[in-house]
Amino acid sequence: MRAERRTAAVLLAVLYALSGALCLFAAAWPMRPDTPVSMLWGLGVVGVVGGLTLRLLAGRLRWGDLHLAVLLASVLVALLAWRSATAVGVVSLGPVLIALGLFAAHFFDLRAARVHVGVLVALASAGAVAAQPAVPALQWLTSVVSVAVLAEVQGRLAQNLRTAAATDPLTGVANRRAWEAEAARNLARAARTGEPLSFAILDLDNFKEVNDREGHGAGDALLRDLTAAWAQRLRRADLLGRYGGDEFVVCLPATDERGAREILGQLDATHSFAWTVGVAAAGKGDTLAAVLARADADLYVRKRSGRTA
């Protein structure tokens, strides 16, 4: 997630810097006497400085900062449309609108991207309507529709790709990579706030016998049934993930070890198939690997003693 945020910041920095450079070029060599040279100088400086700032701070920016940067870019585009000297200049802002719309659709969630595209289109259209040259309605409508359609397609595609990358295709729960990333964020938050946090490892007993006796189709169906039943009993904040094969993990925020065992005990009634669970509460200075190692050790102590769920 942090790498994706950094990539987004770097790309937005390029968009800012490139737009600023084009404004500076237009200010230095105006094509018409009524070209808003002063405004172009100002927008050019804002673009270049903003791009350099985004690039330098790329590793420290939050998603909220990127949302604000996209909103600011939308305002600047609307200002440029309003002060453009020609109708052609207004309509030629179409590629800028598309670039911002695609950026929002690719990096933000679909709902936020739609809001950004709506704000961008509304502000830019207001600037186009307020511009002194009469902007051809058909050409402007073509640009606006292109932005909306392309952003929607890109947003849906990006959402599907993110879901596929974070989900176990068989059970529909979080895959190992996605689970570890979210669990690490929960661990960091618990370290900051001091709230309890517990982890559990669930291992199915004699699962191989199901595959050997009834076939892999039966084993797959069992995994789907179990995870669906567990997900219904777990709380909204709890995170269930498949760690590999017949082993699953659960992150239980705001829960100590005793509370975790009570919650996990409720899962026993969801299915007749036996499984064993190991639990560990996060301690001060714990890494995710350390607390999972304790949960794994607890799991095998319980397996050896025959204390299955």
Show me where the domains of the chain are located.
Answer: 2-166, 176-305
Which CATH architecture does the domain made up of 176-305 adopt?
2-Layer Sandwich (3.30)
pLDDT digits (tens, 9 = 90+) for 105-156: 999 999 999 999 999 999 999 999 999 888 899 999 999 999 999 999 999 9
| Mean per-residue pLDDT, 72-93 | 92
User: Which tokens sit at 92?
Assistant: 């030629």
Residue 212 pLDDT grade (very low, low, confident, very high; cuts 50, 70, 90): confident
What does pTM read for this prediction? 0.79
Of 168, 246, 286, 298, the active-site residue reads: 246
Closest of 227, 304, 240, 233 to residue 273, by C-alpha:
227
pLDDT at residue 268, rounded to an integer: 82
Residues 276, 205: contact at Cβ < 8 Å? yes
Q: What is the Cα 142 distance to its own chain's centre?
A: 30
Gap between the Cα atoms of 170 and 122, Å rounded:
43
What digits encode the pLDDT tens for the residues 231-247? 999 999 999 999 988 99
User: Nearest 5 degrees, angle CA 167-CA 170-CA 175?
Assistant: 30
Q: Is 246 a catalytic residue?
A: yes
